[in-house]
Amino acid sequence: MLTYILRRTLMMIPVVLVISVIVFWIIQLPPGDYVSSHVMELQKEGEQLSAAEQDALRERYGLDQPWYAQYLAWIWGILTRGDLGYSFAYSQPVLAVVERYMATTLIVAVASMVFTYVVAIPIGVYSAVKQYSVGDYVFTTVGFLGMATPNFLLAIILMYLSYIWFGNPMLGLQSPEYAAQGWSPARVLDMLRHLVIPVVVIGTASTCELIRVMRGQMLDEMTKQHVLTARAKGVKESTNLRKYSLRAALNPIVSTIGWSLTAIFTGSTITAIVLNLPTQGPVMLDALMAQDMYLAGAWLGFMAILTVIGTLISDILLAWLDPRIRDERRARA
Amino acid sequence: MTTTPEDTTPPAHLVLTVEDLAVHVPTEHGLLRAVDGVSFEVRAGRTLGIVGESGSGKSLTAKSLLRLHPAAFRESGRVLLHGADGSGADGTDALDIMELRRDGPMIRAVRGRRIALIFQEPMTAFSPLHTIGDQIMEAILLHRTADRAEARDICLEWMLRVGIGDAQRRIDQYPHEFSGGMRQRAMIAMALSCEPEVLIADEPTTALDVTIQAQVLELMQELQAETGMAIVFITHDLAVVAGTCDEVAVMYLGRIVEQAPVRELFANPQHPYTRGLLRSIPRFGMGRDERLQAIEGTVPQAIDLPAMCSFRDRCGARIEGVCETAEPRLLELTDRHQVRCFLHDPDAPVPDQPVGSTESTASDPAHAPVVPEESPA
Ligand SMILES: Nc1ncnc2c1ncn2[C@@H]1O[C@H](COP(=O)(O)OP(=O)(O)OP(=O)(O)O)[C@@H](O)[C@H]1O
Ligand code: SF4
Ligand SMILES: [Mg+2]
């Protein structure tokens, strides 16, 4: 198993490198570059930049070089100095921008995931065990509504309700008065309260999806022959449910944890804009639109690594959970 | 009539009596009378064979004996489990399994402990995520001891007894590391580890190849001789029945159509369906797995059956004007040979019109129903 993990980790390196090339190439694909989009911005505000000034800017940022030369310089910087490049829009090193948003992004993403699993799995199991009961129908209906409601709409509704009920739409991730303070219990509490709406909004669609998957999985597992075998041995229904059906039904869900994390990462941009969340989604969008290429590249590269690691984690979990897969791996190793 | 050795020995005590068992399954097309009016007895140390084509209701009957059906199925009849020493054989203090709640502790104490079940498919009967040992020990821990070390010893002992060599290593292996034959052995070990009074084996060898099949059958017989348990042996293969069973019940479309001691049945089959099945037994030199089309036609679904002999459409001996007028009843030819067919019923309805050309069915039962040939226009 250890050798397997080691081998997979080594294999990640070329994969991530290839992805970074593709990502970089795609980012510079649209016509123009940061300077030209910057000039357009300035023009809107009535300012002009002469052609000479533009060229000077290009030279300073290295934008006059072909894209692969830019890419090589960038990746060389990352590998040798850990330098992710420079964000034109923020006039800061990319690393500083990333650092600022990383923690909140992770908090929102992980909290949404936990919400999804904690809510969806029990409901899915309940719906399967009590198939066609009133509760099952209610959850199914709510589930379809949840999947069909666009996130931004849900966000606006919740903000509105929060405003009506608590006099505060709960924008952002913390109240302004805490922004300058150090961490205190009150600040943590404030943040948790602010997390509710984003987590519900971001988590609802995947929760509803997961309820359906879980219900289907459970129904499938509960009618398996080996469950009947266990019942015929005199095993209690509750034991049967937990030991055989639930355990087996969770397998495919566990195995997708890895990349559902990235999905939540990327899927929440619009929500983050609507709710004014200090997370990476809006920053990323701006960077792409402004062709702030190193910032965009760094983030997309980070996502790629996350996806690859997520897949690895899933694979490890799956092998840990399922002896058949474990043996298959061992045979190939 | 032949006299068989078992006719002379005093009958072993009754372990299980099934009376008028019915399992009706609600389906979208109507109520499926998958098992209807089935009665039989099982005696200690003896083997009852239940034979019939696919879909005749054998597995549903077996599952009914342990109340394994979902609540939506409509079951009726009695399944009496007598005391282990035969004390309840007169039916007084027998346990009626059909009266037990299907998820209650009473039925759980019977399942695996007093009546054990071996299923049709060894490949799917074990959970792929748990070790074989874990799954065998589960029954032992439920019914025999709470001590894990002791349960493991019992498990190892039974694995060795059913011929799983190297049990010390194999006990911690997973089902996918077992071949089909080995899995069926493990299944038998699991079923027998709590020393049940009745073992129900639902086509235990169908999925196995011929040599393994023979080994498993032999093993079951050996263990029966050692433990004195009763076996209900379900199969669609009469050839297997000949070597393993004492009594045979032939099922067709949810009903028992003929029941007799095994030699009697083979020497003197009375129901046209039984005769058809007997003819389909492969002879020597014929591949066992090339499944013969036993009897012309297919088994209809037991939904909305009219009140007539359900074998009528496929029967070569059908009596026009009789077999479609009512359902034949189960007749006692002797006290141990019963058949459900108008051919043997002195009180059979009288045909509407005289039937001149009825063939002598006893001498030539091979005839298929006469189909009028279409003449080309
Ligand atoms: N869960 C179920 N729901 C609906 N119908 C069922 C169900 N299980 C079995 N049946 C039907 O009941 C009838 C008898 O099935 P059963 O499994 O007892 O047949 P069998 O004699 O064991 O056949 P086989 O040799 O194929 O195992 C069949 O027509 C089958 O389609
Ligand atoms: S009752 Fe009639 S149709 Fe049915 S098996 Fe007997 S002869 Fe054939
Ligand atoms: Mg069956």
pLDDT in tens, B167-226: 999 999 999 999 988 998 899 999 999 999 999 999 888 777 788 888 888 988 998 999
Strand pairing class (B255-261; B331-334): unpaired
3-state per-residue secondary structure call for B248-260: EEEEECCEEEEEE
Confidence of residue B134 (pLDDT cuts 50, 70, 90): very high
Flag whether pLDDT at B358 surpasses 50.
no
Chain B residue numbers with beta carbons less than 8 Å from the beta carbon of A229 are 117, 119, 125-126, 135, 187
Would A292 be classed as within a structural domain?
no
Residue A285 lies inside a defined structural domain of this protein: no
The closest-lying atom of ligand 1 relative to the alpha carbon of residue B301 is 29
What's the domain range around A153?
100-273
Q: Kindly give the distance from the C-alpha atom of residue B104 to the centroid of ligand 1, in angstroms, as a whole number.
A: 25
What's the A69 CA to ligand 1 centre distance in angstroms? 70
Domain for residue A291, yes or no?
A: no
ipTM for the predicted complex comes to 0.82
Q: How far is CA B315 from CA A306, B274, B299, in A?
A: 69, 11, 12
What does pLDDT average to over chain B? 83
Closest CA relative to residue A327, chosen from B5, B65, B131:
B131
DSSP annotation string for A62-85: TTTS-HHHHHHHHHHHHHHH----
In this structure, chain A runs to a length of 333
Which of B127, B135, B194 should be substituted to probe chain A, the one whose Cβ sees the most A Cβ atoms within 10 Å?
B127
DSSP SS3 for B283: coil
Confidence (pTM):
0.81
Extended strands (E) in chain B: 14-27, 30-43, 47-51, 74-81, 95-96, 115-118, 198-202, 230-235, 247-252, 255-261, 331-334, 337-339
* CATH number for A110: 1.10.3720.10
Q: Is residue A142 part of a domain?
A: yes
Reported as a single tens digit per residue, the pLDDT across B37-75 is 999 999 999 999 999 988 899 999 999 999 999 999 999
pLDDT over threshold 70, residue A155: yes
- Is A177 part of a structural domain of the chain? yes
Q: What is the DSSP string of B308-352?
A: S-TTGGG-TT--TTTTTTSPPPPEEEETTEEE--GGG-TTPPPPS
Query: What are the pLDDT digits (tens) for B320-334?
Result: 888 888 889 899 999
pLDDT 10s digits, A80-130 = 888 888 888 888 888 888 888 888 888 888 888 899 999 999 999 999 999
Sign, CA torsion A62/A65/A67/A72: negative
The whole-number average pLDDT for the span B288-315 is 71
DSSP-derived letter for residue B353 is S
* B18 shares contact with chain A (CB less than 8 Å): no
Contact at 8 Å (CB) between B132 and B126? yes
B261: β partners: B247
- The verdict on residue A71 lying in a domain is no
Q: Average pLDDT, stretch A53-79?
A: 83
pLDDT of residue B374: 40
- Asked if A237's CB is within 8 angstroms of B103's CB, the reply is yes
Ligand 1 binding residues, C-beta < 6 A: B 25, 27, 32, 34, 52, 54-60, 120, 236
Best probe residue, ligand 1, of B54, B298, B303 (max atoms within 8 Å of C-beta): B54
Residue with the smallest CA separation from ligand 1 atom 14 is: B57
CB contact at 8 A, B225 and B244: no
Look at residue B285 and tell me whether its pLDDT is greater than 60.
no
Give the 3-state secondary structure of B192-208.
Answer: HCCCCCEEEEECCCCCC
Q: Judge whether A185 lies within some domain.
A: yes
Evaluate whether residue A64 is within a structural domain.
no
Cα–Cα distance measured from residue A322 to residue A320, given in angstroms and rounded to the nearest whole number: 6
Q: Is the pLDDT of residue B261 over 50?
A: yes
Domain count, chain A: 1
Neighbour tally for B306: CB within 10 Å: 10
